[in-house]
Amino acid sequence: MTSAYLIRGASLPDGTVADVRLANGVIRDIKAVPAHDAGRPGAAQRVSDAGRPGSEPAGTVAGATVIDGSGCVLLPGLVDLHTHLREPGGEEAETVWSGTRAAAAGGYTAVHAMANTFPVQDTAGVVEQVLRLGQEAGYVDVHPVGAVSVGLEGERLAELVAMARSGARVRVFSDDGHCVADPVLMRRALEYVKAFDGVVAQHAQEPRLTEGALMHEGAVSAELGLTGWPAVAEESIIARDVLLAEHVGSRLHVCHVSTAGSVELVRWAKSRGVHVTAEVTPHHLALTDESARGYDPVFKVNPPLRGAADVEAVRQALQDGVIDCVATDHAPHPAETKECEWAAASFGMTGLETALPVVNELMVETGRMTWADVARVMSEAPARVGQLTDQGRPVAVGEVANLTLFDPAARRVWDPASGYSKSTNSPFKGKELHGRTRYTWLRGRATVQEGKVVERV
């Protein structure tokens, strides 16, 4: 792939319309253009004509591929704090290769790969294996998350320091899928990660309060006769953990906040100066427990889809900064474990390819957030939580060219079978997606071109 690009007339996160030049893996030049000049029809063609016809491929000028970016927004490459890539051990659902292609297609340039693989990512050897698989695939930076406990069993602390010092330089630790329920183990994990400014990402689910739980506890669960999953099962763990983080003076990250009460606890902890960050998933921003009425297990997820007041609370919290990040919790599952009866089905939904369109529809088109806010919650803040250095950076001259060009006006009906994930358990199947990733660049190399993942040879 050519390493030079000229993106003409795209909007930057701050609303400036500019021509942006990428070369040798960095942003070389940004030239603001008058807004009335942007979106001029045939602009790309004229530039290409101005080149030397016959000596360069169509759509290039001075060796750079020219892209008409009018109507599109150029964002820092998205960073996901919460991706299940399933490899090693779950390759029937996803591989590092397929999952990172889905990530690139969704506009991501970095993902944090959750530790609940087989074997579990609880040693330096396994996290280095996942790191290497990510590098070989070459679509996004893969940052392995280390398990908090050996085998995710919640009993003995895993080798946190060895994983932090390994080639994978692990900074985020989580037993996600399981809650670190033992308060002593949680305290010790917070103490260990403090030494290298790591963070413990908690899947807040009090195990006794959720035994056999199948969906959010409320009027709908009572009506459907499905065992309820009370909000307090999430909130009681968050309350305990923010107090532990304060006591230890360490960093806590709360995964997939789903209730209004959880938002209030995070708000309270932040007001006390506790080092806590929080994420919300696109599906918890978009969907309620009413989705369970058809008993379609595509809507079965952990934590469960909540009530309408909870959904409004997490939207408001993302808007006002109490929730720091959008994270996908991309959780691919093979058809046989999702296309069965509700009680037997696995928890989880895919999300990498739909996250940005969902955020665009719910938060940007409604006027609740700007593109600068989207850059903050989907790139800058998650990169900061994960201690990444060349991700989540401003779109500015001299910065590494980790970027995504998103067309917010594009419309398409989502068919997950046409996507890049190996699994199709998307709750947005058949829905109209608001926007599409046109290009993604990883250190200046296009991983996605006009919506298609670039095949590597």
Tell me: does residue 443 bind Zn ion (CB under 5 A): no
Tell me: does residue 300 bind Zn ion (CB under 5 A): no
Q: Checking phi first, is residue 411 left (phi over 0); if not, alpha (psi -120 to 50) or beta?
A: beta
Interface pick for Zn ion out of 176, 324, 361, 380 (rule CB under 5 A): 176
Taking the complex as a whole, the smallest distance from the CB of residue 251 to Zn ion amounts, in Å, to 18
Taking the complex as a whole, the smallest distance from the CB of residue 204 to Zn ion amounts, in Å, to 9
Q: Quick one: 25 or 154, whose CB is closer to Zn ion?
A: 154
Angle of helix 260-271 relative to helix 308-320, nearest 10 degrees, comes to: 30
Taking the complex as a whole, the smallest distance from the CB of residue 278 to Zn ion amounts, in Å, to 13
How many whole angstroms separate alpha carbon 9 and alpha carbon 33?
Answer: 7
Residues with Cβ < 8 Å from 265, sequence gap 6 or more?
A: 235, 238, 239, 242
Q: How many residues touch Zn ion (CB under 5 A)?
A: 2
Q: Please confirm, yes or no, whether 80 is among the known catalytic residues.
A: no
How many whole angstroms separate alpha carbon 420 and alpha carbon 397?
Answer: 32
Q: Quick one: 203 or 251, whose CB is closer to Zn ion?
A: 203
How many whole angstroms separate alpha carbon 299 and alpha carbon 279?
Answer: 19
- Point out the catalytic residue in the list 329, 373, 390, 415: 329
Where are the extended beta strands (E) located within 58-140? 60-61, 64-68, 73-76, 78-83, 108-113
- Contact criterion met (CB below 8 Å) for 314 and 323: yes
Tell me: does residue 203 bind Zn ion (CB under 5 A): yes
Nearest to 362 by CA among 276, 294, 280: 280
Q: Quick one: 66 or 252, whose CB is closer to Zn ion?
A: 252
Task: Tell me the C-alpha to C-alpha distance, in Å, between residue 95 and each of 21, 92, 132, 239, 420.
Answer: 33, 8, 13, 35, 11
Which window, 19-27, 195-203, 272-280, 430-438, contacts Zn ion (CB under 5 A)?
195-203
136 to 175: interface string for Zn ion, x by CB under 5 A: ----------------------------------------
Taking the complex as a whole, the smallest distance from the CB of residue 327 to Zn ion amounts, in Å, to 10
DSSP percent split of the chain into helix, strand, coil, nearest 5: 35, 25, 40
Taking the complex as a whole, the smallest distance from the CB of residue 255 to Zn ion amounts, in Å, to 5
Q: Quick one: 61 or 233, whose CB is closer to Zn ion?
A: 233
Residues within the interface to Zn ion (CB under 5 A) = 176, 203
Q: Which residues are catalytic?
A: 329
